[in-house]
C-alpha cells in the first residue's frame, strides 16, 4: 500500500521580502509573484537569490528496476545581487553533468542540495541556463510526515510532492513562490500510460517504448508538478461543449464502474466552481486513480491523484473530489508565498466542499460549519491559523478552522460581497503567490463593515470564536 501520508491535500475524518516578479494569467491579468526569503518552515529548500522561468525535463523511467535517468534544462533569472554560487534541491542521485550557460561548472551535491558555482559570477538580473543530468533509483524524500515525492507502486509510479517532495525526482528551486512553466518528456515501456498536469503535446511510440510530452504553460510551483505512470483506461468526464473544460479520468479498467458513479458529478462541480470562483485557470483537468490505496488524495496542477480506496461506487469520497478540484483555484493558480499561509489553500478547499454540499442538495454550509465547530470545541485550542508552525501545518484542525474562517467571512460580508470578493481575488492573483495579509487587505475592500476583529479572532488568536451565524442565502445571486 502506498502511504503518501505527507502532502496532505485533505485529511480524512508575515511580510514578503526581496525582489518580485510578475506572472500573466490567460485572461491578461497580471499578478504579483513574490520572491521571498528562505521559507521559515523549510529553510533548506529553495534559493531566494534567483527565480526560475521555465523547466524542460527529459526523463526515461523503467518501472521494473525503478530506474530513472533525466536531463533538465532550467531557464532562470538572477536576483538583485550577482550570483557567485546558487543551489538547486535534488535527492541522492548520481550526477552526470552540470553546466551553466553551456559551460562546465564546479558543483557539490550533499544532503539534497546541489550547490553550483558558475565559471564566473552571474550579474544581477541576468538570465541564465542550467543543465543537469542525473540518474538513479527514485524514492520518497524524508519529511516530518514520512516519505513524500516519487512513490514506486506495485506496477508503476506516482508523484505527490506536497510540501517538499519535488527534489525526489528532479532538480528544482523548491519553494512554492518560485513558479515556472514546465515541459516534461518521459519515455516508458509502451504498456504504461503517463499522466502529467498540463496539455499532452505528443505521444510517440518507437519499438517497445513510448515518449509522452506534456506542456504546462501556467506558472507552477515545484511541489505541484504531478506525475503518474501506470496501466490506465482513459475516459472523458462529461462533454466539455463550447468553451468547456476538458476533464479526463485515468483509472484501472476494473474500477471503471465504480469510478463512473463516484466522479459523475465532477462536471457539475466544475460548472458551480466556475460560477462562484471564476474561470477554471488551466487548459485541462485530469484525475488519476491508482491500483493501490492512498492515505489521502493529493492535488497537483491540473491533476489530482486518488487511491483505489477513494472509489467505492457509492460516492463515499465525493467531498474529496470537490476539495481537490477547488485546489486548482486555491493553492495552484493562486499559490502561497511560503508555507505559513497554508490555510489559504486548505481553508478555501474545505469550504468548497461545503458549498458543493449546499448547492447539490446535501447539508448546508451552516450545518457543516456547526459540525466543524463542535469538533474543534472538543480539541486543544492552541493552533494559530495564520502561522500554524511546521508541526501543525497538516493538522485536521487547520482544515476545519480554515473552513470556519471562510464561513465567518461569508456571514459577515453577505453572499453578494463575499463572492464578488472571491472572484476578484482569484482573478487579480492568478498565476501569482500571496500571503495572509494580502488576503485580509483584499477582503476588507469588499466588506460593508470592518473585518479586523473577525480576522484577529480567527486567524491570529487560538481560542475558538463563537459559531458564525447569519442569514445566508443558499445561492449567490451575483454568481
Position 394 pLDDT exceeds 80: yes
The answer to whether the pTM exceeds 0.85 is yes
Question: How would residue 2 be classed by pLDDT, with cut points 50, 70 and 90?
Answer: very low
The pLDDT tens digits of the residues spanning 418-460 come to 999 999 999 999 999 999 999 999 999 999 999 999 999 999 9
Q: Write down the pLDDT at residue 240.
A: 76
CB neighbours (10 Å) of residue 427? Answer: 18
- CATH 3.30.2010.30-classified regions of the chain: 232-332
Q: Write down the pLDDT at residue 470.
A: 75
Query: 346: annotated binding-site residue?
Result: yes
Secondary structure class of 392 (helix, strand, coil): helix
Q: Torsion angle, CA of 123/126/131/132, rounded to 10 degrees?
A: 60
Mean pLDDT, range 343-366, rounded to an integer = 97
Q: Write down the pLDDT at residue 399.
A: 98
Question: What CATH superfamily classification does 336-458 receive?
Answer: Neutral Protease Domain 2 (1.10.390.10)
The residue among 72, 75, 80 whose CA lies nearest residue 96 is 72
Contacts of 367 (CB under 8 A, 6+ apart): none
What is the percentage of the chain residues whose pLDDT exceeds 70? 90
Q: Write down the pLDDT at residue 471.
A: 56
- CATH 1.10.390.10-classified regions of the chain: 336-458
Residue 181's Cβ-side half-sphere holds a number of Cα atoms within 13 Å equal to 14
Mean pLDDT, range 78-83, rounded to an integer = 96
Question: How would residue 38 be classed by pLDDT, with cut points 50, 70 and 90?
Answer: confident
CB neighbours (10 Å) of residue 469? Answer: 12
The pLDDT tens digits of the residues spanning 398-421 come to 999 999 999 999 999 999 999 999
The residue among 400, 225, 198, 419 whose CA lies nearest residue 319 is 400
Taking a C-beta distance cutoff of 8 angstroms, is the pair 175, 44 a contact? no
Taking a C-beta distance cutoff of 8 angstroms, is the pair 219, 33 a contact? yes
Question: How would residue 242 be classed by pLDDT, with cut points 50, 70 and 90?
Answer: low
The pLDDT tens digits of the residues spanning 96-143 come to 999 999 999 999 999 999 999 999 999 999 999 999 999 999 999 999
The pLDDT tens digits of the residues spanning 41-52 come to 999 999 999 999
Q: What mean pLDDT, rounded, does the chain reach?
A: 91
- Which three three-digit cell numbers place residue 68? 530513472
The CA distance from 72 to 416, in Å, is 47
CATH of domain 37-227: 2.60.40.1730
Q: Which residues are catalytic?
A: 324, 399
The DSSP call for residue 311 is -
Q: Both ends of the chain: CA-CA distance in Å? A: 42
Least confident window among 34-43, 296-305, 376-385: 34-43
Hey, what CATH class is 232-332 in? alpha beta
Phi then psi dihedrals of residue 341, to 5 deg: -100, 25
Query: 323: annotated binding-site residue?
Result: yes
CB neighbours (10 Å) of residue 456? Answer: 13
- Which three three-digit cell numbers place residue 274? 466556475
Position 175 pLDDT exceeds 70: yes
The CA distance from 352 to 358, in Å, is 10
Taking a C-beta distance cutoff of 8 angstroms, is the pair 431, 23 a contact? yes
Q: What is the DSSP string of 404-438?
A: HHHHHHHHHH-HHHHHHHHHHHHHHTTTSEE-HHH
The residue among 398, 276, 410 whose CA lies nearest residue 341 is 398
Query: 310: annotated binding-site residue?
Result: no
Question: How would residue 243 be classed by pLDDT, with cut points 50, 70 and 90?
Answer: low
Q: Write down the pLDDT at residue 239.
A: 77
Q: Write down the pLDDT at residue 1.
A: 33
- CATH 2.60.40.1730-classified regions of the chain: 37-227
- Report which secondary-structure segment, H or E, holds 356: helix 343-359
Q: Write down the pLDDT at residue 9.
A: 46
The pLDDT tens digits of the residues spanning 257-272 come to 999 999 999 999 999 9
- Burial per residue of 66-84, b for 16 or more beta-carbon CB atoms within 10 angstroms, e otherwise: eebbbbbebebbbbeeebe
Amino acid at each position: 500500500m502506498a502511504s503518501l501520508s505527507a502532502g496532505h491535500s485533505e485529511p480524512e475524518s508575515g511580510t514578503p521580502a526581496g525582489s518580485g516578479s510578475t506572472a500573466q494569467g490567460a485572461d491578461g491579468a497580471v499578478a504579483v509573484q513574490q520572491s521571498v526569503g528562505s521559507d521559515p518552515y523549510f529553510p533548506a529548500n529553495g534559493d531566494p537569490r534567483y527565480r526560475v522561468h521555465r523547466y524542460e525535463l527529459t526523463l526515461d523511467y523503467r518501472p521494473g528496476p525503478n530506474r530513472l535517468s533525466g536531463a533538465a534544462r532550467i531557464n532562470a533569472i538572477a536576483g538583485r545581487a550577482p550570483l557567485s554560487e546558487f543551489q538547486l534541491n535534488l535527492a541522492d542521485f548520481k550526477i552526470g553533468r552540470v553546466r551553466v550557460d553551456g559551460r562546465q561548472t564546479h558543483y557539490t551535491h550533499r544532503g539534497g542540495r546541489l550547490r553550483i558555482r558558475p565559471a564566473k559570477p552571474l550579474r544581477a538580473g541576468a538570465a541564465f541556463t542550467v543543465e543537469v543530468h542525473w540518474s538513479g533509483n527514485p524514492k520518497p524524500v524524508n519529511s516530518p510526515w514520512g516519505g513524500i515525492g516519487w512513490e514506486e507502486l506495485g506496477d508503476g509510479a506516482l508523484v505527490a510532492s506536497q510540501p517538499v517532495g519535488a527534489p525526489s525526482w528532479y532538480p528544482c528551486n523548491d519553494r512554492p513562490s518560485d513558479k515556472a512553466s514546465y515541459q516534461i518528456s518521459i519515455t516508458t515501456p509502451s504498456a504504461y500510460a503517463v499522466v502529467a498536469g498540463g496539455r499532452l503535446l505528443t505521444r510517440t511510440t518507437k519499438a517497445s517504448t513510448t515518449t509522452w510530452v506534456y506542456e504546462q504553460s501556467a506558472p507552477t510551483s515545484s511541489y505541484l508538478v504531478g506525475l503518474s505512470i501506470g496501466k490506465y483506461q482513459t475516459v472523458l468526464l462529461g462533454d466539455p461543449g463550447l468553451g468547456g473544460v476538458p476533464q479526463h479520468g485515468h483509472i484501472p479498467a476494473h474500477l471503471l464502474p465504480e469510478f463512473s458513479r463516484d466522479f459523475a458529478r465532477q462536471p457539475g462541480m466544475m460548472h458551480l466552481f466556475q460560477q462562484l470562483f471564476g474561470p477554471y485557470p488551466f487548459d485541462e483537468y485530469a484525475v488519476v486513480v491508482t491500483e493501490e490505496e492512498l492515505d489521502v488524495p493529493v492535488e497537483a496542477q491540473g491533476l489530482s491523484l486518488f487511491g483505489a480506496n477513494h472509489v467505492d461506487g457509492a460516492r463515499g469520497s465525493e467531498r474529496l473530489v470537490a476539495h481537490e478540484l477547488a485546489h486548482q483555484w486555491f493553492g495552484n493558480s493562486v499559490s502561497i508565498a511560503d508555507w505559513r499561509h497554508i490555510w489559504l489553500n486548505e481553508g478555501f478547499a474545505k469550504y468548497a466542499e461545503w458549498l458543493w454540499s449546499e448547492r447539490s442538495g446535501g447539508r448546508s454550509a451552516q450545518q457543516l460549519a456547526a459540525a466543524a465547530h463542535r469538533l474543534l470545541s472538543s480539541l486543544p485550542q492552541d493552533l494559530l491559523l495564520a502561522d500554524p508552525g511546521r508541526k501543525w501545518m497538516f493538522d485536521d484542525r487547520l482544515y476545519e478552522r480554515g473552513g470556519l474562517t471562510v464561513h465567518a467571512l461569508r456571514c459577515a460580508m453577505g453572499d453578494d460581497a463575499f463572492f464578488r470578493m472571491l472572484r476578484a481575488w482569484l482573478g487579480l492573483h492568478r498565476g501569482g503567490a500571496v500571503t495572509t495579509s494580502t488576503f485580509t487587505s483584499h477582503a476588507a475592500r469588499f466588506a460593508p463593515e470592518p473585518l479586523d476583529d473577525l480576522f484577529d479572532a480567527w486567524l491570529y488568536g487560538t481560542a475558538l470564536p463563537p459559531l458564525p451565524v447569519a442569514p445566508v442565502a443558499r445561492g449567490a445571486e451575483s454568481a
